[in-house]
Every structure is written in structure tokens, then in C-alpha cells.
Amino acid sequence: MANLTTVTRISQEKHPRNISKHLNYGTAGFRSRATELDHILYRMGVLAALRSKSKDGDTIGVMITASHNPEEDNGVKLIDPLGEMLESSWEKHATCLANAGDEEFQVVLSEIVETFKIDMNCKSSVAIGMDTRASSPGLNTAVVDGVKSVDGLCFDYGTITTPQLHYMVRCINTRNAYGMATIEGYCNKLSKALKNIWQNQGERKVYKPHIIVDCANGVGAKRLKDIAERFDKILSIEIRNAGEGKLNYRCGADYVKVNQRGPEGIDCIEGQKYASFDGDADRIVFYYTDKDNIFHLLDGDKVATLIASYLIGLIRKCGLELNLGIVQTAYANGNSTAYIQDELKVPVACVCTGVKHLHRKALEFEIGVYFEANGHGTILFSDSALSKIESSCSSSSNESEKLSANELRTFVDLVNQTVGDSISDMLIVETILRDKDWDVADWDKSYRNLANRLLVVKVNDRSVFETTNAERTVIKPTGLQKAIDDHVKLFPNGRSFVRPSGTEDVVRIYAESDTQENADQLALAVAKSTYDLAGGTGNLPTL
């Protein structure tokens, strides 16, 4: 039986708390400078093993990554048995354990064991993965020490994308019913699904099976190469920013989305299709330049609408009645929401920012498509939907309906349902573009995004902000929402909101309008009001 006194001794001797600042476990887990995280990674190893014991030995995942953050940062998040985010009731315990002083550590551990009635004699197992940061191997060692301190078993996958680790955890706990819990199994599942769908689509005149992918100098480069090699001549994938430069520096999905231009080092050629991953390959955005050398971004909103239009058509061809819905956040472009509701006739739900909120809401639909505008998202198929699809495959008397149902069933295997996955999402987009026989410009024409701008204002204390209406309305500071409303009235198709960061004392300003100039001016006006009414620090943001 694991002894909590031994756990505490190892913590104090090998992984003592070396910082005084308080860190919160949020949607992305913990993130900070890598030099501040050793004791937290040890403690999360312990917590993951305890979580496993509380789930009767089911494997829990620990991913070491800071996603799109700078290279000197790192972080950690826990993954629950079916590949989902850590259950929210455990987040506060993760925060307490991470911030406890060395002398309080055992007391907090004991409280967790007592709260969840954990049988310390129960076996536990933890799957561990990490991104390519130089600090990751050392932090991996801290996690392993934590798991072993409570007699847990480790499955160390080494360098792996975040969504791949989510996939592995689900495979292990479903006894490989979801797929084989190996990189080979992951690649086989996705590549087999793509090839099976494509072979029934016939030749295409417009669609071009070629894409150039910016991998942000992160782990996605190696893992994309694993699967790209399986496509022979049916899909050409060129990999750029494969590790020769600095992680996430002037490249990657976040850089492209925020700056609305291609990554440095890639000269966008007219009509060529490009995509950018983030550092741990769970976000993706697409882009191209037109004949006038104008940059066009196709972000998470565009991906969600493309997927929804494809699924609607396929569901109708199957003759099935399935409840399909799309989940967005306040950052979704207003025209994307209008297109979904008015053209696709699909219900839209808006939730607070954070994948856990979108994932939870998507589960309310038989087929739930969720994407944040930043390119993080996936598709969830309920047991009810899968049962209806399977029944149509086997019992439909209409040959056309049966073929469509088989395509839909195969499409399910192309989706990593555990979390947003850059590789899976890229293959999904390629498959749908091929099905529609579209090039990237055809896709972009489905609807026109409103011009938008995202700015950041530094404030003394982000805790003074309080929002409601899925973060679209600010309640505090008093008077700020009225100021925003007054600014919005001055701009055609104007919309703006402010949202405090969950990890630092900054406030994000989002604005959109009919032209880029108007969107910029609206964002700057709201930023100044926020600065004045909320105790801004430093310089006002500029463009």
C-alpha cells in the first residue's frame, strides 16, 4: 500500500516547492515558466495516480505541454479515462495540491483521499506524453516520480501530440475498442478511413490534393510525417517549420490567427492551400493568398461550417433523422453564426471560452460539432447516432442510402472525438473539399467573415472583471458595458466584448465590423474605455 508519508518525503527531498506565486488549474491545466513547474509536475503525477485509483484502475493521462506558449514555458494537464478533460470537480483539488506548502502537502493529499474515498490498495496506471520543449524530459521525470511514489504504473509515450495522448488513454480504457493504443494504431485508423472514403469519390477536377503545413517547430511535424508517408500519391503533404526554428516563434496557428498573416519563412503562393498547427498540434487554421496577394484566413469557424455542411448532406443521403448542432464561443465571427442558422439551418449554442465548455455542450446533440475560432475543435457522435448509422448500413433497402451510411460510418473513424486534433482535422477538411470538388477559394466563398480585431490591455487586477451571457456581456467594472454599447452603435455590423484572461492580468478585446478599418477603430475605442475604467497599466495597445 502506498504510504503518504513516503510521498511527502520524496516531494520535499527531490521536488520541493520553489515558488510562492499561486497557479490555478484551468482549461489548459497549469502553465508557467518551466523553471517553476518541477514540484507541480511531481504533484500532478501523484494526483493522476490517485485519480486512477478512484476510477478502479482506469488509466489517466498526463500531458506535458504549454501548447502555443513561448518555448521557455511549459505546463501540464490531466486526461480522464475516455480521453476527455479532467472532471471539473477535481480541478480545485489540483489547484490546492499544486499550491500547498511543503509542510501542508501531506494534509492536502489526505483530504483528497478522504473526499473521494480512495482505496490506496487499488492499482493505478498513468499514460504520460510530452511535447518537444527542452524542459519536457526533466518534467517528465518529475511526473514519473509522482506516479511511482503511490505505486502507480507508467505508460510513457515520450514525444507525442496532445490529441494523440488523449486518443491513447481512450484506447487503453476501452480495451482497444476505440483503436490500438500506439502511434501505429493511430496512423492506421485515420489513414484507412481516409483511403476508404476517397476510393469511392471518383476523380476530381478542381480539388488539388496538396497542402503545405506549418508545424510551429513543434511535435506535430514528426507525427504528421508518420501519417503523411501512408498516403503515397493520393495526398501530398509538405511539412514546414519542422523543428529547425524556435517553437511557436512567429509561426503556428496562434500567430497566424492573431496577426492574420502567414508564418515567417513561408511565402504564400497564389491559390496554394496552407495550414498551421500550434505547438502541441491540437489547433489548426487554414489560409491562402488570392491573385491580388490578399491574405485569406480560414479559422475554426470556417472549419466548423464546412464540416456541418458536409454532414448535413450525408445525413440526408442516408435518410436518417439525426440531431446535429454546432457549438461556438463569443469569439466566433458573427457572419459564421448567421450562415449556420440562416443557410445551413443548424442550431447554434454559444458557451464560455474553453474546450471543456464546448465539449460538454456538444454532448447534448446526437452529432455535436464544436470549434473555437482559434482552430481547436472536433466532432462528437453519440451512442444514439452511431446506432442509427450502423443500423442504416446493415438494414437499409435503398442501395444509395446504404452507401452514404457506410461513408458516414467510415468518416467517424477519421475523427479524433477525444479532443481537437490538428492532424485529424486537416484530413477531415481535405476529405470534405475533395467530396465537394472545391479548392480553398471555393471553400472561402461559402460566406464572408466580418472584419475583426483582437487586442490585449494590461490591467492591475483582472479579478475586478465579471461577465455573463457566455462572456459576451461585462457586468463589472461598472459602466464598461455601456461604454462598449455606445462604441458599437457607431460602426456598421459592430460587435465587441471584453474578456479577462484566466492566467494573467490582461483583458482581451474582441471587435468586428464591416471593414477592417472600422473593426480596428472599434477595438481601439473599447480598449481605451477598458484601460480607463479598469485600471489599465503600461501603454495602450496599438495596431
First to last CA, the chain: 59
Catalytic residue, candidates 11, 32, 54, 67:
67
pLDDT band of 200, cuts 50, 70, 90: confident
**pLDDT the model gives residue 508:** 94
Question: Do the annotations mark residue 374 as ligand-binding?
Answer: yes
Residue 391, annotated as binding a ligand = no
Report all structural domains of the chain as residue ranges with CATH numbers, in order of start. 4-159 (3.40.120.10), 204-296 (3.40.120.10), 300-444 (3.40.120.10), 451-533 (3.30.310.50)
Q: Is 51 helix (H, G, I), strand (E, B) or coil?
A: helix
500 annotated to a ligand binding site: yes
**Residue reference for cell 476508404:** 196
> Who wins on pLDDT, 433 or 501?
433
What confidence score (pLDDT) does residue 27 get? 84
| Residue 499 labelled as part of a binding site | yes
CA dihedral over 315, 392, 200, 180, signed as positive or negative: positive
Rounded to 10 deg, the angle between the 38-54 and 88-99 helix axes is 140
Give the whole-angstrom CA distance, residue 502 versus residue 70: 17
Number of neighbours of residue 167 by Cβ within 10 angstroms:
30
**307 or 260: which carries more pLDDT confidence?**
307
pLDDT of 166: 98
**Residue position matching grid coordinates 461598472:** 478
Contact between 319 and 401 under an 8 Å Cβ cutoff? The reply is: yes
**pLDDT tens by residue, 131-144:** 999 999 999 999 99
Which range has the worst mean pLDDT, 105-114, 397-406, 505-514, 526-535? 397-406
Given a cut of 90, whether residue 266 has pLDDT beyond it is yes
Sheet bearing 377-381, strands edge to edge: 348-350, 324-328, 367-371, 377-381
pLDDT in tens, 42-100: 999 999 999 999 999 999 999 999 999 999 999 999 999 999 999 999 999 999 999 99
Q: 421-434 pLDDT, tens per residue?
A: 999 999 999 999 99
387 is in an annotated binding site: no
Query: Is-contact 144 258, C-beta < 8 A?
Result: no
Task: Tell me the C-alpha distance between 432 and 201, whole Å.
Answer: 11
Which of 50, 64, 66, 180 has the alpha carbon at shortest distance from 126?
A: 50
Return the closest-CA partner of residue 179 out of 423, 417, 383, 381.
417
What are the DSSP calls for 221-287, one per residue? HHHHHHHHGGGTTT-EEEEESSSSS-TTTT-SHHHHHHHTSPPTT--PPBT--EEEE-TTS--EEEE
Residue 381, SS3 per DSSP? strand
- Poorest-pLDDT segment among 264-268, 385-389, 428-432: 264-268
Rounded to the nearest integer, the mean pLDDT of the chain is: 95
pLDDT at position 225 over 70: yes
How high is the pLDDT of residue 226? Answer: 95
Does 501 appear as a known binding residue?
Answer: yes
Q: What is the pLDDT of residue 20?
A: 87
Provide the angle, in degrees to the nearest 10, between the axes of the packed helices 183-198 and 422-436.
10
Q: Is 175 annotated as a binding residue?
A: no
The response to whether 360 counts as a known ligand-binding position is: no
pLDDT tens, position by position, 444-479: 999 999 999 999 999 999 999 999 999 999 999 999
pLDDT score at 468: 96
- pLDDT at residue 232, as a whole number: 81
Q: Is 67 a catalytic residue?
A: yes
Please say whether the beta carbons of 9 and 149 come within 8 A: no
Annotated binding-site residue? 418: no
- 1 pLDDT band (50/70/90 cuts)? low
pLDDT of the residue at 202: 84
Average pLDDT over residues 108-137: 96
pLDDT of residue 2: 67
Do the Cβ atoms of 475 and 466 come closer than 8 Å? yes
Per-residue model confidence (pLDDT) at position 203: 87
